Amino acid sequence: MKLSSPDTPLISVLVVSYNNEKFIKETIESCLYQDFDNFEVIISDDNSNDNSWEIIKKIDSQKVRAFKQEKNLGEYKNRNFCLDMATGDFVIFMDGEDLLYPHALRLLSYYISKYPKAGQFIANIWNERIIYPIEIPAAEFAKIEFLGTGCTALNFTRLILNRKLLKALNNFDDDSIKLGDLYIQYKVGFNYSSVLIPDGFSWWRRRSGQASESILSNNLNYYIESYKVISVFLPKTEILFTTNQYKQAKINYYGQLLRVVVRSLVRLEKKGFVFYFSKWTGLKKYTLFILNKSNRNYLMKYSGENPFSPNNVTGNVEKN
């Protein structure tokens, strides 16, 4: 894959904003105050009814292209708009209250130079088994997600996407999905290689009123929305897994959802509600069977960059 020409940015920072007047200036400034130069910032205000657009218009930088939508598009159509406007090889999404640290784009450009054909870069939290970065092919990604402990990022600020490959997959094409960050990682991860990198280049501002906050603050809502994503991609693993692996994958995920539902109903019982179906012995046994059979012992092949080599050559990290 040929990376950007001198006239084309390597990275497009895509800022989607709606009623973010308290934070949008700080967000944009964090994108501009980088110790790296080969980038652009695309801002799309989704017809805010506060003072956001007036603040955005005052930003004076040749790196910024700002747009105000004439009507509210909604989160993912607005993200698609930004993707259509972007020219960079890779993109990172920011909401109108998030921040990039000053070293962020320089660090990301380093990983892109190492893996220019990757479909996405996923920032992971610390893991004692991993020296980052690690490239994961599509089949391995599926096994880590459905048979292991998972490798997806928590939100968009920890995800860098290959713009052209994402557009080849039709961007965000399902408005019914509320966990778009998980959906897009699965969509790309099932078709192209993913690279795991360390976290620490962005800051996600979690606050009340966000669409994602209403989901993350309630376990049952979160797993129901996760289930919608999983129901799209889990059937696709049947051709990648053995019969037993596919059976175990279904137990792991549907069992997890069932456990959250049962716990929610138990909490209702403690609040004075009658837990009628707890008397259904068959259901109780089946619930215990699902929970006891959950198994996430699959381990990825851990190998990554050797940070101790003067040339930063690729090394291997043995499993513990």
pLDDT, tens only, 102-160: 999 999 999 999 999 999 999 988 887 788 999 999 999 999 999 998 999 989 999 99
Q: Where in the chain is the domain with CATH 3.90.550.10?
A: 11-208
Distances (CA, A) of 204 to 16, 23, 236: 13, 12, 31
Of 126, 121, 144, 141, the closest CA to residue 197 belongs to: 121
The single-letter DSSP state of residue 97 is T
How far is the C-alpha of 51 from the C-alpha of 13, rounded, in Å? 22
Q: What is the pLDDT of residue 207?
A: 67
Strand, coil or helix: 11: strand
Q: What is the pLDDT of residue 283?
A: 47
Low-confidence ranges of the chain (pLDDT < 50): 1-2, 269, 271-283, 285-286, 312-320
Of 40, 47, 98, the closest CA to residue 75 belongs to: 47
Instruction: Identify the H or E element spanning 155.
Output: none
Q: What is the pLDDT of residue 129?
A: 77
Distances (CA, A) of 191 to 136, 146, 174, 293: 11, 16, 17, 29
How far is the C-alpha of 139 from the C-alpha of 190, rounded, in Å? 7
Q: What is the pLDDT of residue 175?
A: 83
Amino acid at 174: D
Of 172, 16, 153, 201, the closest CA to residue 93 belongs to: 16
Question: Burial level of 205, CB count in 10 A (0-12/13-18/19+)?
Answer: middle
Contact (Cβ atoms closer than 8 angstroms) between residue 203 and residue 138: no
Contact (Cβ atoms closer than 8 angstroms) between residue 143 and residue 315: no
The CATH superfamily holding the domain 11-208 is Spore Coat Polysaccharide Biosynthesis Protein SpsA; Chain A (3.90.550.10)
